[in-house]
Amino acid sequence: MTRPAALDGVTVLDLSTVGPGTRCTRILSDYGARVVKVGAPPRKAGVQVEPLFYAYSARRNQDQVRFDLKAPEGKEAFLALAKTADVVLESYRPGVVNRLGIGFEAVRAVNPNIIYCSTSGYGQDGPHATWAGHDINYLAMGGYLHTSGRGEGGKPPIPGATIADSAAGGMHAAMAIMAALLRREKSGEGEYLDVSVTEGVLSLMSLYIDDHLATGATPGPGHDVLTGRYAFYDTYECQDGRWVSVGAIEAHFYRNLCNAIGCEQWAEHQYDDTVQDQVRADFREAFKTRDRDAWVEALSANDTCVAPVYSIDEVVTDPHLNARGAFGDVRHSEHGEFKQVGYVLAGMDAPEGVAEARDARTTQTDELLAGAGMDADHIASLREQGIID
């Protein structure tokens, strides 16, 4: 018998369109929640960012409604859905949902058990609460960019992934919501969640922040093992111009590495700061003697903590990832069938067959409002007025 999805029976109203909020509801949806994306009607939608058709897993298995939330009737329609929802998530600037009349207190008035999650860059209060920002800004404020390897002239890097949006924001919010759902099972009460993406970055950076608070140290590039102080935790170019990553932290892994690449002379100098430049130079020279994949074949399965630095096209063809079902098929009404990252987080259950992507122009507004008890004539009137779509 197929087991139930972890969040089966949970309904989430999602007022976000991109970023941490949408990352969060993607996770909740993939754990089995019914996610209803709440967007604006076409004549109002110009103020919102519309993600590309394949982004955020192509809205697979998510419903959509479109309400003009500035109109009283649009607010009424939203609150009708909120009466039977379990979670509302929003990512407007602080204070906007209250001005629209759909904030926590307004929703709690019709649904006392609601879990209401606000995601924002800097939190709902404090001196910087109203600052606009994106992923790079939150990583900068949280210390991530400062501790990362520097470019020419000490330039902090531009990360290759939206770490703040996905981990510090989206996963942070999803974890908080799931904890609140568990707490509600015990208390019977809903609650308000103030998810600050920057504070999520602090959680990711706690090793270095706690180091500073406890010892007065000032972590930065080259401060310790994980920020490039030692040659055994670095990246190296190979003969063919491609790269390997090395993370031989444990002493036996480090010795294995030195012996395998012909650098036995450094096997007993793993943490010797006085010779790290020499060790790194010899490692560079050694790795330049073979192509990347030859080194990976020789080292990776032999306890050296070596892995290839993949380009994205190599990621999706990797035999290990494919053997574990990391990529699945999805079908879009306009763009056809294509592959995407599947249900890769532990405890997610991939449905059988091809998942259905949702066209951003298609809504389930009538069905959902009818299910909330609104009569057909009223729904038709709201549609005619352009308040819903």
Domains of the chain: which residue ranges?
11-203+359-384, 225-309
Report the distance separating Cα 121 and Cα 129, nearest Å.
8
Report the distance separating Cα 9 and Cα 334, nearest Å.
30
Query: Which two structure tokens, joined as six digits, stand for 99?
Result: 């001005």
φ, ψ of residue 35 to 5 degrees: the values are -105, 130
- pLDDT at position 358: 86
SS3 state at 90: strand
Whole-number Cα distances in Å, 363 to 42, 80, 114, 153, 358: 12, 17, 24, 50, 9
Q: Exposed, middle or buried by CB within 10 Å (0-12, 13-18, 19+), for 194?
A: middle
Report the distance separating Cα 372 and Cα 78, nearest Å.
10
- pLDDT at position 362: 87
294 Cα distance to chain centroid: 33
Report the distance separating Cα 44 and Cα 48, nearest Å.
8
Q: Considering Cα of 65, then 86, then 104, then 162, what sign does the dihedral take?
A: negative
Superfamily of domain covering 11-203+359-384: Crotonobetainyl-coa:carnitine coa-transferase; domain 1 (3.40.50.10540)
Catalytic residue annotation: 134, 165
**pLDDT by residue, tens only, the chain of 389 residues:** 578 999 999 999 999 999 999 999 999 999 999 999 999 987 665 556 678 899 999 889 999 999 999 999 999 999 999 999 999 999 999 999 999 999 999 999 999 999 999 999 999 999 999 999 999 999 999 999 999 998 889 999 999 999 999 999 999 999 999 999 999 999 999 999 999 999 999 999 999 999 999 999 999 999 999 999 999 999 999 999 999 999 999 999 999 999 999 999 999 999 999 999 999 999 999 999 999 999 999 999 999 999 999 999 999 999 999 999 999 999 999 999 999 999 999 999 988 889 988 888 889 999 999 999 999 999 999 999 999 99
Query: Which two structure tokens, joined as six digits, stand for 312?
Result: 């994205």
* CB-based contact 61:350 (threshold 8 Å): no
Report the distance separating Cα 70 and Cα 253, nearest Å.
61
- pLDDT at position 45: 54
- pLDDT at position 312: 97
Q: Measured over all CA atoms, what is the biggest interatomic distance in the chain, rounded to whole angstroms?
A: 83
Report the distance separating Cα 326 and Cα 347, nearest Å.
13
- pLDDT at position 1: 52
CB within 8 A of 372, min separation 6: which ones?
80, 81, 83, 84
Q: What single letter denotes the amino acid at residue 221?
A: P
pTM recorded for the entire structure: 0.94
* CB-based contact 241:234 (threshold 8 Å): no
Report the distance separating Cα 8 and Cα 28, nearest Å.
10
Q: Does the domain spanning 225-309 belong to CATH 3.30.1540.10? A: yes
* CB-based contact 315:341 (threshold 8 Å): no
- The DSSP 8-state label assigned to residue 244 in this structure reads E
Whole-number Cα distances in Å, 28 to 22, 184, 241, 281: 10, 17, 40, 47
- pLDDT at position 51: 86
- C-alpha atoms less than 13 angstroms from C-alpha of 197 in its C-beta half-sphere: 32
Q: What single letter denotes the amino acid at residue 317?
A: T
* CB-based contact 46:36 (threshold 8 Å): no
Give yes or no on whether 11-203+359-384 and 225-309 have one common fold: no
181 Cα distance to chain centroid: 20
Q: Exposed, middle or buried by CB within 10 Å (0-12, 13-18, 19+), for 186?
A: exposed
SS3 state at 365: helix
